[in-house]
C-alpha cells in the first residue's frame, strides 16, 4: 500500500483532517492525497505557498524568519505547517520548502535541499533533507517523505530522534 493510501486509512479511522502547505512540491502532495477516491473524508485542502508573500500573508510565517533564515529553513517550514492547520482548520498538516532544481542552489543550500515539517495539533516534526539534482525526483521524494513523516508523527514514532 502506498504511503498516501496508508495516510488515508489512518486519518479516516481516527476521524482526522489534514492539509498541506507546499512550496517546492507545488501541490504534488495534495495531488497524491486527492487522487484517492473518498479523500474528501480526511483532506481539507492545500496552500501552494511558492512565494514568500504567500508564506507570510496567508500562512503567517514571520518576516523575521524569512529574512534571517530564508524560505528554506526549519523555522519557516514549521510555521508553514502550523499555519496550514490554522488556516485550513485541520488536525494535521505537512509543509515543504526547498530547492527542487535544476537551478537556484547556493553553496549553503544546494539543489536538492528540502526542509519538511509535519504537524499534528501542537507537535511539529521537521527535518532537512538533501535529495539529488533532478527536479521531478526531488519533488516526488519530498512528497513521499513528508507523508512518511506525518505517519510517524501520528503514530508517535521517532519524534525525539528526528527533531
Domain housing 89:
3-156
Quote the cell numbers at residue 109.
Answer: 543550500
162 within a domain of the structure (yes/no): no
CA distances from 56 to 49, 67, 70, 71, 77 (A): 9, 11, 12, 10, 11
DSSP reduced 3-state for 116: strand
163 within a domain of the structure (yes/no): no
Give the number of domains in the chain. 1
Burial of 78 per CB tally in 10 Å (0-12, 13-18, 19+): buried
Domain of residue 58, CATH code: 3.90.950.20
Residue 95 has pLDDT above 60, yes or no: yes
Residue 27 has pLDDT above 50, yes or no: yes
19 within a domain of the structure (yes/no): yes
49 within a domain of the structure (yes/no): yes
161 within a domain of the structure (yes/no): no
In this prediction, residue 121 carries a pLDDT of 87
Q: Confidence class of residue 161 from pLDDT cuts 50, 70 and 90? A: very low
Q: What is the pLDDT of residues 30-62, one digit of tens each?
A: 999 999 999 999 999 999 999 999 999 999 999
Residue 70 has pLDDT above 50, yes or no: yes
Amino acid at each position: 500500500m502506498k504511503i498516501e493510501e496508508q495516510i488515508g486509512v489512518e486519518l479516516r479511522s481516527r476521524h482526522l483532517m489534514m492539509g498541506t502547505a507546499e512550496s517546492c512540491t507545488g501541490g504534488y502532495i495534495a495531488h497524491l492525497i486527492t487522487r484517492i477516491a473518498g479523500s474528501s473524508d480526511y483532506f481539507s485542502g492545500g496552500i501552494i505557498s511558492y512565494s514568500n508573500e504567500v508564506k507570510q500573508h496567508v500562512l503567517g510565517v514571520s518576516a523575521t524568519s524569512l529574512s534571517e533564515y530564508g524560505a528554506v529553513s526549519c523555522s519557516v517550514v514549521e510555521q508553514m505547517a502550523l499555519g496550514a492547520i490554522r488556516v485550513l482548520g485541520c488536525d494535521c498538516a505537512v509543509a515543504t520548502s526547498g530547492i527542487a532544481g535544476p537551478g537556484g542552489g547556493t553553496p549553503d543550500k544546494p539543489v536538492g535541499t528540502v526542509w519538511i515539517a509535519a504537524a499534528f495539533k501542537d507537535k511539529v516534526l521537521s527535518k532537512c533533507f538533501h535529495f539529488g539534482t533532478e527536479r521531478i525526483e526531488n519533488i516526488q521524494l519530498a512528497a513521499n517523505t513528508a507523508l512518511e513523516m506525518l505517519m510517524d508523527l501520528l503514530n508517535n514514532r521517532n519524534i525525539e530522534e528526528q527533531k
